[in-house]
A = this chain, B = another copy of it.
Amino acid sequence: MTKNSQQRLLTLTARKLDIDTHQELTIYLHQDSYVCHSEGFSALSRVRVNSDDHSIIATLHIVRGSQLTPYEIGFSDSAWQHMQLTDGDQVWVSHPKPLESLSYLRAKVFGHKLNEDQIRTIVNDVVAGRYADVHLAAFITACGDRKLDTDEIIALTRAMVDSGSRLNWQRDIIVDKHCVGGLPGNRTTPIVVSILASLGLTMPKTSSRAITSPAGTADTMETLTEVSLSLSQMQEVVRQHGGCLAWGGSVQLSPADDLLIRVERALDIDSEGQLIASVLSKKIAAGATHVLIDIPVGPTAKVRDQQSAKRLAEQLRTVAQALGLQLRVLFSDGSQPVGRGIGPALEALDILAVLENSPQAPQDLKERAILLAGELLEMSEAAAAGKGQQQARQALEQGHAWQCFQAICQAQGGLRQPPVANYRYNLLADCAGRVAAIDNRLLSQAAKLAGAPVDKAAGIVIYKHLGDSVKSGETLLTLHAESPGELDYAVEFLNAHPELIQLQPDPIP
Which among A140-148, A220-228, A276-284, A412-420 touches the partner chain? A140-148
Query: In the complex, what's the smallest C-beta–C-beta distance from A419 to chain B, in angstroms?
Result: 15
Is A20 within 8 A of B37, CB to CB?
Answer: no
Is B1 within 8 A of A44, CB to CB?
Answer: no
A136 CA to B135 CA in the complex, in Å?
11
Is A61 within 8 A of B20, CB to CB?
Answer: yes
**CB pairs A–B below 8 angstroms (22 shown):** A5-B488, A5-B492, A19-B62, A20-B61, A20-B63, A21-B44, A21-B61, A22-B43, A37-B455, A38-B449, A38-B485, A40-B448, A67-B67, A98-B268, A106-B144, A106-B268, A106-B270, A109-B144, A133-B137, A134-B137, A138-B267, A141-B141
Interface SS, A side: mixed
A266 CA to B20 CA in the complex, in Å?
22
Interface string of A331-375 (1 = CB under 8 A from B): 000000000000000000000000000000000000000000000
Is A110 within 8 A of B485, CB to CB?
Answer: no
Query: Could you say which of B37, B62, B64, B138 contacts A451, with CB atoms under 8 Å apart?
Result: B37
Within 8 A of B (CB), among A188-243: none
Chain B residue at minimum C-beta to C-beta distance from A2: B492
Within 8 A of B (CB), among A93-127: 98, 102, 106, 109-111
Given A9-B489, A38-B451, the answer on whether A134 and B63 have CB atoms closer than 8 Å is no
A453 CA to B37 CA in the complex, in Å?
9
Q: Which of A19, A38, A110, A485 has the most chain B CB atoms closer than 10 A to its own CB?
A: A38
Is B46 within 8 A of A266, CB to CB?
Answer: yes
Chain B residue at minimum C-beta to C-beta distance from A489: B9
Query: Could you say which of B31, B110, B135 contacts A144, with CB atoms under 8 Å apart?
Result: B110
Query: In the complex, what's the smallest C-beta–C-beta distance from A97 to chain B, in angstroms?
Result: 11
Is B1 within 8 A of A22, CB to CB?
Answer: no
A270 CA to B144 CA in the complex, in Å?
18
A62 CA to B78 CA in the complex, in Å?
12
Closest 7 CB pairs of A and B: A137-B137, A18-B65, A22-B43, A134-B137, A141-B141, A20-B62, A109-B144
A312: chain B residues within 8 A (beta carbon)? none
Is B268 within 8 A of A18, CB to CB?
Answer: no
Is B134 within 8 A of A266, CB to CB?
Answer: yes
A2: chain B residues within 8 A (beta carbon)? 492
Interface residues of A (CB under 8 A from B): 1-2, 5, 9, 17-24, 28, 31, 34, 37-40, 42-44, 46, 61-65, 67, 76, 98, 102, 106, 109-111, 132-138, 140-142, 144-145, 262-263, 266-270, 448-449, 451-455, 483, 485-486, 488-489, 492-493, 496
Is A44 within 8 A of B262, CB to CB?
Answer: yes
Query: In the complex, what's the smallest C-beta–C-beta distance from A446 to chain B, in angstroms?
Result: 12
A267: chain B residues within 8 A (beta carbon)? 102, 134-135, 138
Query: Can you name 6 extra interface pairs (CB under 8 A) apart from A20-B64, A44-B133, A138-B141?
Result: A9-B489, A18-B63, A19-B62, A24-B44, A38-B483, A109-B145
A97 CA to B496 CA in the complex, in Å?
13
A39 CA to B451 CA in the complex, in Å?
7
Chain B residue at minimum C-beta to C-beta distance from A211: B42
Query: Could you say which of B40, B141, B454 contacts A454, with CB atoms under 8 Å apart?
Result: B40
Chain B residue at minimum C-beta to C-beta distance from A493: B1
A34 CA to B451 CA in the complex, in Å?
11
Is A134 within 8 A of B263, CB to CB?
Answer: yes
A137: chain B residues within 8 A (beta carbon)? 133-135, 137-138, 141
Query: In the complex, what's the smallest C-beta–C-beta distance from A134 to chain B, in angstroms?
Result: 4
Chain B residue at minimum C-beta to C-beta distance from A39: B449
A140: chain B residues within 8 A (beta carbon)? 138
A132 CA to B263 CA in the complex, in Å?
11
Query: In the complex, what's the smallest C-beta–C-beta distance from A478 to chain B, in angstroms?
Result: 19
Chain B residue at minimum C-beta to C-beta distance from A62: B20
A455: chain B residues within 8 A (beta carbon)? 37
Chain B residue at minimum C-beta to C-beta distance from A485: B9
Given A109-B269, A137-B138, A493-B1, the answer on whether A31 and B20 have CB atoms closer than 8 Å is yes
Given A1-B496, A62-B20, A142-B141, the answer on whether A454 and B37 have CB atoms closer than 8 Å is yes
Chain B residue at minimum C-beta to C-beta distance from A450: B38
Is B43 within 8 A of A20, CB to CB?
Answer: yes
A42: chain B residues within 8 A (beta carbon)? 22
A144: chain B residues within 8 A (beta carbon)? 106, 109-110, 142
Query: In the complex, what's the smallest C-beta–C-beta distance from A234 to chain B, in angstroms?
Result: 26
A1: chain B residues within 8 A (beta carbon)? 492-493, 496
A40 CA to B455 CA in the complex, in Å?
9
Query: In the complex, what's the smallest C-beta–C-beta distance from A342 to chain B, in angstroms?
Result: 14
A98: chain B residues within 8 A (beta carbon)? 268
Is B268 within 8 A of A102, CB to CB?
Answer: yes
A109 CA to B148 CA in the complex, in Å?
13
